[in-house]
Amino acid sequence: MALGFQSAKLPDDEPGPLEKFVALLLGPRLANREQKGRKIGALEGVPAMGLDGLSSSAYGPEAALTVLMPLGAASLFWIGWIMAPIVALLLILFASYWQTIRAYPGNGGAYIVSRENLGTHASLLAAAALMIDYVLNVAVGISAGVGALVSAVPKLHAHILALCLGILLVVTVANLRGTLDAGRLFALPTYLFVASFAVILGIGVFETVVSGGHPRPVVPPPQLPRAVEAASVWLLLRAFASGCTAMTGVEAVSNGMTAFRDPPVKYGHRTLTVIVVILGALLIGIACLARSYRIGAMDQSQPGYRSVLSQLASAVVGNGVFYYVAIASLLCVLCLSANTSFVDFPRLCRTVAADAFLPKAFAIAGRRLVYSVGILYLALASGLLLFAYGGITDRLIPLFAIGAFLTFTLSQTGMVLHWRRVRRSPAGATERAVRAHEWINTVGALTTAAALVVIVIAKFKEGAWITVVAIPAVVILLKTIHGYYDRLASQVRDTRPLQLRDSRPPIVLVVMGNWNKITDKALDMALSLSPDVIGVHLDQLAGPEEEEHDAELRAQWVRYVEEPVRAAGLEPPRLVILRAQHRAIHEPVLKLVRELGTKRGGRRIAVLIPEMVRQHWYEHLLHTYHARQLHSRLLACGDSGLMIVDVPWRAEEGEAPPHRHLG
Amino acid sequence: MALGFQSAKLPDDEPGPLEKFVALLLGPRLANREQKGRKIGALEGVPAMGLDGLSSSAYGPEAALTVLMPLGAASLFWIGWIMAPIVALLLILFASYWQTIRAYPGNGGAYIVSRENLGTHASLLAAAALMIDYVLNVAVGISAGVGALVSAVPKLHAHILALCLGILLVVTVANLRGTLDAGRLFALPTYLFVASFAVILGIGVFETVVSGGHPRPVVPPPQLPRAVEAASVWLLLRAFASGCTAMTGVEAVSNGMTAFRDPPVKYGHRTLTVIVVILGALLIGIACLARSYRIGAMDQSQPGYRSVLSQLASAVVGNGVFYYVAIASLLCVLCLSANTSFVDFPRLCRTVAADAFLPKAFAIAGRRLVYSVGILYLALASGLLLFAYGGITDRLIPLFAIGAFLTFTLSQTGMVLHWRRVRRSPAGATERAVRAHEWINTVGALTTAAALVVIVIAKFKEGAWITVVAIPAVVILLKTIHGYYDRLASQVRDTRPLQLRDSRPPIVLVVMGNWNKITDKALDMALSLSPDVIGVHLDQLAGPEEEEHDAELRAQWVRYVEEPVRAAGLEPPRLVILRAQHRAIHEPVLKLVRELGTKRGGRRIAVLIPEMVRQHWYEHLLHTYHARQLHSRLLACGDSGLMIVDVPWRAEEGEAPPHRHLG
């Protein structure tokens, strides 16, 4: 009997004000079967997963040019030689992730690829690197965007932290609504950014070609600084390492495959292609135009600083309306680059949690079928980082690319082993195609590994060492969590059939106040569970000054309980009055439970607790928490043979004739 | 069988770190029978209840002199004519509270006296006035003390709010430890203050007498301002109304009678006498010495301001070490005057809550046998006031005396009616003694009523109107609470004996995951409650991507459950697999409960929920809250025939041979 209810909403489940607010903010609760309609295509995929990658174009070339600044005008020569290998690397990554997506259409993330091909250790390394990277990406992305915004509108300078946290809130809420909603919401700025810079780069390239390589800028960029150094291998390597940040975000599609609608491989490929093509075009265009328009990086710490893209836009189209639209969309894309993390981090955590390396809550789909715990955790962690650094997270940037390139390397290496296995399996594809695949991933693995080494060395002192320490620490944490679940699983494992140990009904202790309808109902319920019922009343629960009515209670007991039960031909329940010396209801009850257990030869005992149901918020203030305290203390301290029976009681029950039954 | 356990501490109740910290801060949990040893005598009574009254001496005369400032030197003439009726009124109050304490030794507060003699309305008026007064007293007392401290040590000016909240915290913790501890802790500054000013006033009076009324001040006080006004009745009335604040705190002893050890009347009388004698002596002494040393009030808003007591101390003994000791003890007494509220407010709330006009929690004795909820509520309310006003609550002072004088009047009027009733009862005391009592209380009632009228008129515009509005609002709140409890009592009232409605055992639904030791134990427990057991498994509880193992589960069920139960000659339980479309465990379970209820002719249903007991804090992070959510939603939405059975499961149970029974 597998019941699939049409609507699981219960008629008397009238939503409270909090639930109404949440529904307004996040949208209605979605059913599992609505999952299909919540999947995304390439149109939403690019804004959802691509913002990290696309926004890289804004800071990758700039970062490389900044390192090259001491070279003066020569930097314009070298930027070409830096960006060429970066774009080549991008293409290699594109080819290899294209293959990864096809090989692992369910989830092609570095974690899964490493787990399947390299084993648990490597997969945990990938998971830890990705997790740290995602948290950093949120903090750094938002603060970089806000930094750019503030340098455009200096009035906002006093509100950096508030702006950061505000954007974090918007991105968090959008993603709690679901990846589809976030993708749709952020589509406008994304495509506006792409369109504006397509126009700018197009005009710029046209002008360059027409003018024979020396276009006249509309607004001339500032003079390049004088050279103070000659080019050295070390400087160029550092520029390369800095420029490599342009590539972070390319792995996003493979990590978020579960977000795509059927067939996921098709939409994954489409999204990946759009992202890489746009990113590649932007990188090449920026490098070329920087050269022809003679635009270099400026010192951020000096007043009058302008970013490379801003100089480039005003050089090509001047400082008109179009310039402002382009820069505004760029700011949006920078601020929202955090969204990629919000799409991938919860999905990664879900997979890791399903393997019992993270708490189970990460694997539970929330009201909008996204993994809300992961989203909230990411928001909290990056919010704390932003708060701790006051919204200025420059110092975190060096920590940043390591995780990405470590994951690239692991995932590529995993793919190499994957193809090798495919090649060896008898049902493999044609040998040649597989060899080609293997070759692409090998090149990918080697180049990203080389880039990783360069980045670690170049940035070690600036803070990369923190990542080098943090990743193993996270791995240890994940393993500890797994150890806990492992131990638990072995504790609950049961290979024997059901043991019927004691078929006698339990002794039922009914915790009660005076004689009233609640006690009446509780005793009636208790007698249907077992013929062996004891009423337990506690004296002085409120303190030594509470009045006691023991004699009255005993008289009530005889008249209202013993007589009718005896008349029904049953053994009448006993009444026990205990004194709560420490005003803790559970202590005397537990003591009684233990005494009875010893006396009655290990009989099971059930403690029946009548509980008043609170239907209005103010009732929580008007009642004591004795029932709930007793319940939770019995749970915590009770012996293994103890049951706790809650009998809810509602105010209406006192008004209607008692016990309308179900139905 | 009334069991009085020698020690209710359970052996496996190892205190957690939080409990250890609380025990360190507040002292060990006290048993009800330790109540006697926690009562106080007069020695602790004066610091516990008298600080409000004694500190009044610091601001009463000063307040009157401030109003008289426009009279210039003539203010020294009139201060005598203002203080004389105030001291007389104090003596009348002393006499009448002396009688009240004897007549109501259990609790002689205005609330009880009004309730017994004037009826519910008057008693609620008294309760509301007292409650507001106590909260104001804490905020105003602490901020006045800190204000004086800051004017003595101007460096502290930036920390006013922190100092206020710090003192509030100290007083709160001291009172949570118990009235006895607070009385002992605050005894040193109290008696130091009394001793210092006894010496100062003694020397001052001696010098005055020796010098024939014109002593030479050691440090001459500043020149009195020039007169700008002549004395008018209105000015003198306002001075009287301001000076009357010197009397607040006299009622404290009668409100806190339950704190005293046996015989309470003796210790109450002693405490009251000590407080009134010291207060009276201080008031008379200050008025006399202000006259002979020619000390007037100074403008607080001007730099160089010094309080009357500070001027007086340096005039008499100079600015030596003794001066600093006296002023330091004065500051302590001012800061700690809030303590009186902390002793009386929780006791008042306890009495009002016992009459069901306040939530029941106010009537429960806490770990140290004081009413912790009242103490915490008072701390919270006054803390919010301090916070809202930034620790400067001058504007609240006009609101202050009204509550006190309204209570005085109600309590005195109640006593008049009390004596009248005693006089009429045949077993009354000798007519003459009673008439004398009645006369004293009549004078008290009339004079305090007159003072109340003067205060309300004189201070109405300055803010007294707020009190005039707030008191009825609190009365309405108290009545609303009472109405709720009244309705509840009539709903649970049961005048019929126990109804045995349905003796059939309930259908037991066992909510379960896969086959494991937890399910094993739960089914075994369920079969001891009823032969009619159904296993309920929920699919897709974590979302649409959760893997389902329905076939495996059904196979397990047949092998591990049905076969052994059938072999034992019982009807084997069925397995029902439900789909949790909305990932809310309670919805399908509730729906099943309702269907079964209809189908099975109103049979009762018990839902059995196995719950993993969390023994370490980190386990809370590692488990989902499904069991607890199901429990609380079933409580909230279940029908009246529903029971909820919790079966705790501990990790150790998986390691030991299953089900060591109790004992």
CB contact under 8 A, B539 and A2: yes
DSSP conformation letters of B524-567: HHHHHH-S-EEEEEEESTT-TTS---HHHHHHHIIIIIIHHHHH
Question: Does position B148 have pLDDT exceeding 50, yes or no?
Answer: yes
Which B residues, 239 through 298, put their C-beta within 8 Å of a C-beta on chain A?
Answer: 258
DSSP conformation letters of A572-637: PPEEEEEE-TTS-THHHHHHHHHHHHHHTTS--EEEEEEEEPP-STTHHHHS--HHHHHHHHHHHH
In this structure, is residue A394 part of a structural domain? yes
Chain A closest-CA separation from residue B555 CA (Å): 12
Asked if B538 is an interface residue toward chain A (Cβ–Cβ < 8 A), one would say: no
* Nearest residue, CB atoms, B559 vs list A10, A360, A497: A497
What are the backbone dihedrals phi and psi of residue A499, each rounded to the nearest 5 degrees, phi first?
Answer: -100, 120
Asked if A539 is an interface residue toward chain B (Cβ–Cβ < 8 A), one would say: yes
Residue B444 CA to residue A292 CA, distance in Å, equals: 100
Q: Which of the listed residues B432, B452, B486 is the one where a domain comes to its end? A: B486
CB contact under 8 A, B503 and A528: yes
CB contact under 8 A, A493 and B659: no
* Cis, bond preceding A263 (omega within 30 deg of 0): yes
Question: Does position A658 have pLDDT exceeding 50, yes or no?
Answer: no
3-class secondary structure, B648? strand
Question: Residue A188 in contact with residue A329, Cβ under 8 Å?
Answer: no
Residue A76 CA to residue A79 CA, distance in Å, equals: 5
The pLDDT-based confidence of A661 (bands split at 50, 70, 90) is: very low
Question: What is the pLDDT at residue B429?
Answer: 58
In this structure, is residue A440 part of a structural domain? yes
> How many domains, in total, are found in chain B?
2
CATH number at residue B48: 1.20.1740.10
3-class secondary structure, B76? helix
Question: Residue A247 in contact with residue A18, Cβ under 8 Å?
Answer: no
In this structure, is residue A399 part of a structural domain? yes
Same domain, B444 and B583: no
In this structure, is residue B622 part of a structural domain? yes
CB contact under 8 A, B527 and A598: no
Asked if B223 is an interface residue toward chain A (Cβ–Cβ < 8 A), one would say: no
Residue B438 CA to residue B423 CA, distance in Å, equals: 9
Residue B6 CA to residue A318 CA, distance in Å, equals: 90
List the domain range (segments joined by +) for residue A185: 39-486
CATH number at residue B521: 3.40.50.620
* A31-75 pLDDT, tens digit each: 998 988 999 999 999 999 999 999 988 888 888 898 898 998 888
* Nearest residue, CB atoms, A1 vs list B500, B517, B577: B577
* B270-288 pLDDT, tens digit each: 999 999 999 999 999 999 9
Question: Does position A588 have pLDDT exceeding 70, yes or no?
Answer: yes
Interface with chain B: mutation pick from A494, A617, A620, highest number of B CBs within 10 Å: A494
CB contact under 8 A, B550 and A2: yes
What are the backbone dihedrals phi and psi of residue B551, each rounded to the nearest 5 degrees, phi first?
Answer: -65, -45
The pLDDT-based confidence of B8 (bands split at 50, 70, 90) is: very low
Asked if B525 is an interface residue toward chain A (Cβ–Cβ < 8 A), one would say: yes
Asked if A578 is an interface residue toward chain B (Cβ–Cβ < 8 A), one would say: yes
* B101-133 pLDDT, tens digit each: 998 988 768 999 999 999 999 999 999 999 999
DSSP 8-state secondary structure symbol assigned to residue A157 = G
In this structure, is residue A384 part of a structural domain? yes
Interface with chain B: mutation pick from A492, A557, A613, highest number of B CBs within 10 Å: A492
Question: What is the pLDDT at residue B424?
Answer: 83
Closest chain B residue to the Cα of A259, Cα to Cα: B545
Which A residues, 35 through 64, put their C-beta within 8 Å of a C-beta on chain B?
Answer: 35
Same domain, A554 and A465: no
What value does the mean pLDDT take over residues A97-110?
86
Same domain, B413 and B561: no
Same domain, A198 and A315: yes
* A272-324 pLDDT, tens digit each: 999 999 999 999 999 999 999 999 888 877 777 888 899 999 999 998 899 99
Closest chain B residue to the Cα of A654, Cα to Cα: B491
Residues forming a β-bridge with A575: A535
Q: pTM of the entire structure?
A: 0.85
Please choose, from the candidates B351, B428, B405, B339, the residue with its C-alpha nearest in 3D space to the C-alpha of residue B113: B351
Chain B closest-CA separation from residue A44 CA (Å): 21
Residue A200 CA to residue A315 CA, distance in Å, equals: 10
Same domain, B633 and B518: yes
Same domain, A137 and A259: yes
Task: Give percent of chain A with pLDDT exceeding 70.
Answer: 96
CB contact under 8 A, A645 and B640: no
Residue A436 CA to residue A108 CA, distance in Å, equals: 19
Sort A117 into a burial class: Cβ within 10 Å, 0-12 / 13-18 / 19+: buried
Asked if A346 is an interface residue toward chain B (Cβ–Cβ < 8 A), one would say: no
CB contact under 8 A, B635 and A654: no
Q: Residue written as tokens 């990542």?
A: A467
In this structure, is residue A660 part of a structural domain? no
Question: What is the pLDDT at residue A436?
Answer: 87
Same domain, B239 and B156: yes
Same domain, B534 and B575: yes
Question: What is the pLDDT at residue A608?
Answer: 96
Which B residues, 630 through 649, put their C-beta within 8 Å of a C-beta on chain A?
Answer: 631, 634-648
Residue A392 CA to residue A142 CA, distance in Å, equals: 9
Question: Does position B395 have pLDDT exceeding 80, yes or no?
Answer: no
Question: Residue B341 in contact with residue B134, Cβ under 8 Å?
Answer: yes
The pLDDT-based confidence of B6 (bands split at 50, 70, 90) is: very low
Question: Does position B247 have pLDDT exceeding 90, yes or no?
Answer: no
* Per-chain mean pLDDT for chain B: 88
Question: Does position A6 have pLDDT exceeding 70, yes or no?
Answer: no
Same domain, B386 and B532: no
What are the backbone dihedrals phi and psi of residue A225, each rounded to the nearest 5 degrees, phi first?
Answer: -70, 160
Which B residues, 107 through 146, put their C-beta within 8 Å of a C-beta on chain A?
Answer: none
Question: What is the pLDDT at residue B414?
Answer: 93
The pLDDT-based confidence of A8 (bands split at 50, 70, 90) is: very low
What value does the mean pLDDT take over residues B400-410?
87
* Nearest residue, CB atoms, A516 vs list B9, B492, B564: B492
Same domain, B481 and B522: no
Question: What is the pLDDT at residue A457?
Answer: 86
Chain B closest-CA separation from residue A124 CA (Å): 18
What value does the mean pLDDT take over residues A3-20?
55
* B167-178 pLDDT, tens digit each: 999 999 999 999
- Answer positive or negative: Cα dihedral of B270, B276, B282, B284: negative
CA triplet B43, B46, B47: central angle to 5 degrees? Answer: 100
Chain A residues touching residue B604 (CB < 8 angstroms): 525, 528, 661-662
* Nearest residue, CB atoms, B13 vs list A564, A637, A651: A637
The residues, any chain, with a CB within 8 Å of residue A345's CB and separated by 6 or more, are A130, A131, A134, A135, A374, A375, A378
- Point out the least confidently predicted range of A25-29, A210-214, A399-403, B452-456: A399-403
Same domain, A335 and A260: yes
CB contact under 8 A, A499 and B524: yes
Chain B residues touching residue A622 (CB < 8 angstroms): 359-360, 481, 484-485
In this structure, is residue A430 part of a structural domain? yes
Amino acid at B605: I
Q: What helix, strand, coil percent values describe chain B, rounded to 5?
A: 65, 5, 25
Same domain, A518 and A417: no
Question: What is the pLDDT at residue B658?
Answer: 46
ipTM (interface pTM): 0.87
Question: Does position B663 have pLDDT exceeding 50, yes or no?
Answer: no
CB contact under 8 A, A503 and B528: yes
Residue B406 CA to residue A346 CA, distance in Å, equals: 63
Question: Does position B661 have pLDDT exceeding 50, yes or no?
Answer: no
* A205-246 pLDDT, tens digit each: 999 999 988 899 998 888 888 888 888 888 898 888 888 888
* Dihedral angle over CA of A207, A208, A214, A215, nearest 10: 20
Question: Residue A127 in contact with residue A406, Cβ under 8 Å?
Answer: no
Residue A419 CA to residue A437 CA, distance in Å, equals: 7
Closest chain A residue to the Cα of B1, Cα to Cα: A576
